[in-house]
Amino acid sequence: MNHAAASPTLSSTSPAWRIAVPTLALTLLMILALFRETALDMAAIWGRSDTYAHGMIVPPITLWLIWRVRSRIAVLAPRGSFLAVLLLAGAGFGWLLGELAAVNALSQFALTAMLIFAVPAVLGWTVARRIAFPLFFLLFAVPFGDFTQPKLMEWTAHATVFGLRLTGVPVFSEGQNLVIPSGSWSVVEACSGVRYLIASVTVGTLFAYLTYSSLKRRLLFVGVSIIVPIIANWLRAYMIVMLGHLSGNRLAVGVDHLIYGWVFFGVVILAMFWIGARWREDEPDVVPTSLSTSGVTVGGMPAVASVVVAAVVTVLVAALWPLAQRQIDQQTAQPVSQISPLGPIVGWHETREGLYDWSPRFENYAASKQVIHQKDGQQAGLFVAYYRNQDQQHKLVTSSNVLVTSDDRVWSRIGGGTREISFNQQPVKIRTTSLRGPGSTQMVVWQWYWINGRWTSSDVLAKAYTAFSRLTGRGDDSAVIILYARQTQPGEAEAILAAFADAAGEVIETALRQTADLR
């Protein structure tokens, strides 16, 4: 790619840069120091996760991209922007919400946004526009994308089944579990293709920026870098199952399973870049022009002074949010060790005869309760996990809190959806899940959250309610409510759970409120 090779002369370079560059560097270091826990959490994820290991090279790439266009920005006069400081303040508030709701991704995106907005705050919007892509490329450093795994796993399972049937291999599918004549296969997290997708989008976006000059072609290639790895992962999954099937399960069932996947993905991505390079657009040579920098003022203030003042204000505004978090954290309630006892449920009585040897895989709660109730020979299970004083390690809504794990050898998820029920005379939208257990037994599970008196089954709303509750000084008391029943014929479990939810709604809510009051 051709770009200006000429270096700016001393006369064409604004003298304010001698102050602006170290001032900006110090400002960014101060922000990282203020939010060091969030920054270190990001770095820790880069180090332990293969999916997000690329994050550690994103900052150096950003610096290199800026260095490439140094001759184009050196002739500009840096000047502080207090509008950018306001945007940075908004990002800081987003960081606070992420900390209050224990949403790692939100806190990390907000910190990255603060670093991005610090650049126009100190150097001005004219400079920031010239390096807009390198700045926003920093967002790829945030470990983000795990939320796509369930849907990607579902698509991969459907595509694999379609491919097998298309090539004449009989297959029985149930959720993410496949059975063919030569054996059984399961689509687990590693099969979702999220690693391929994130790697492709990151590298594809950089390739599009470096290869094309028109926005249309850049966006088109980014779109291709999203679609291609998804389809490639479907083909990869199908090919691995077929290799195992045709080889009598001697190939593609161990470590070579992953090796074949990465080799195939590498070939596909290289082909994508090779094809994309055929429509390469070289940028026209741009010769830096000198801009008059004498007498530049911002609101009557000399440009150099505006840089320093804006940097000081930027750091002070950024420092407000960790102080606000510490103030809110001082309002922690007394630890809770048990959930208030459940009152009698009309028509139902507690029994020691369990439905199955099963418990939801929720962890790090403050207290929990799991009981079985019976009525006229019908049984309904109840599991409640209570959370208080949540943090990044002890929180209600997290990807590790699930009904069953993908590596569970006894229970597996075979379906799910949503429905609306009446719970304590309130309409509540809940999640429904069908599980298969030992001996092909089936169970239906209903799940939703209680967030300081609010009901929801949405992870996003649960986090929002938690942040709002903490901001208003009401704490973060939360719980998950899970009901489950045996399914021996269609609709049986749903009828049992509806009857139990109707009878137990007031009792469960009263127990949760009493537990919350013990602060």
Kindly state whether residue 165 falls inside one of the protein's structural domains.
Answer: no
183 lies in some domain: no
Amino acid at 10: L
Residues 207 and 253 in one domain: yes
Sole residue written with tokens 């000084």: 473
What is the torsional sign of CA 13, 19, 22, 23? negative
> What per-residue confidence (pLDDT) applies to 292?
43
487 and 375 share one domain = yes
DSSP state of 161: H
Residue 426 pLDDT:
86
The secondary structure of 110-144 as a DSSP string is: HHHHHHHHHHHHHH-HHHHHHTHHHHHHGGGGS--
- DSSP character for 390? -
Instruction: Determine, yes or no, domain membership for 114.
Output: yes
Distance CA 345, CA 350 (A): 9
Confidence (pLDDT) at 4: 42
| Domain range for 364 | 349-517
Q: Are residues 207 and 59 in the same domain?
A: yes
Residue 39 has a pLDDT of 96
Residue 423 located in a structural domain: yes
DSSP per residue, 41-98: HHHHHHHH-STTGGGGGHHHHHHHHHHHTHHHHTTS-----HHHHHHHHHHHHHHHHH
Domain stop point among 261, 296, 330: 330
Helices (H), 247-296: 255-277
Tokens of 380: 């309904």
Q: Which portions of the chain are predicted below pLDDT 50?
A: 1-11, 255, 290-295, 300
| Same-domain pairing of 316 and 447 | no
Cα–Cα distance, 20 to 79 (Å, whole number): 8
The per-residue pLDDT for 1 is 43
Residue 128 lies in a domain: yes
Q: Are residues 231 and 286 in the same domain?
A: yes
Into how many domains does the chain fold? 2
Same domain, 129 and 263: yes
In the prediction, which pLDDT does 258 show?
A: 59
> Which of 330, 365, 399 corresponds to the end of one domain?
330
Q: Are residues 438 and 307 in the same domain?
A: no
In a domain, 167, yes or no: no
Is residue 57 included in any domain, yes or no? yes
CA-CA distance, 164 to 240, in Å (whole number)? 11
**pLDDT, position 284:** 60
Same-domain status, 289 and 393: no
Boundary-marking domain end, from 276, 301, 330: 330
Residues 308 and 455: their CA atoms lie apart, in Å, by: 49
Separation CA 222–CA 205 (nearest Å) = 5
User: What distance in Å separates the CA atoms of residue 256 and residue 470, rounded to the nearest whole number?
Assistant: 49
pLDDT tens string 160-215: 999 999 998 999 888 788 888 888 888 877 778 888 899 899 999 999 999 998 88
Give the integer Cα–Cα distance in Å for 253 and 408: 18
pLDDT one-digit tens code per residue, 236-270: 888 888 888 887 766 655 545 556 666 777 788 88
Residues 287 and 418 in one domain: no
284: phi then psi, degrees, rounded to nearest 5: -70, 150
Q: Does 168 map to a domain?
A: no
Residues 305 and 362 in one domain: no
The predicted structure's pLDDT at residue 50 = 83
Give the model confidence (pLDDT) of 322-365 as tens digits: 999 999 988 778 888 899 999 899 999 988 777 778 999 999 99
pLDDT at 249: 67
Neighbours of 44 (CB within 10 A): 11
Calpha distance 403→424 (Å, rounded): 24
Residue 475 and residue 424 share a domain: yes
Asked if 324 and 356 sit in the same domain, the reply is no
In degrees and rounded to multiples of 5, residue 370 shows phi and psi of: -135, 120
* Interacting residues of 257 by C-beta distance below 8 A, sequence separation 6+: 240
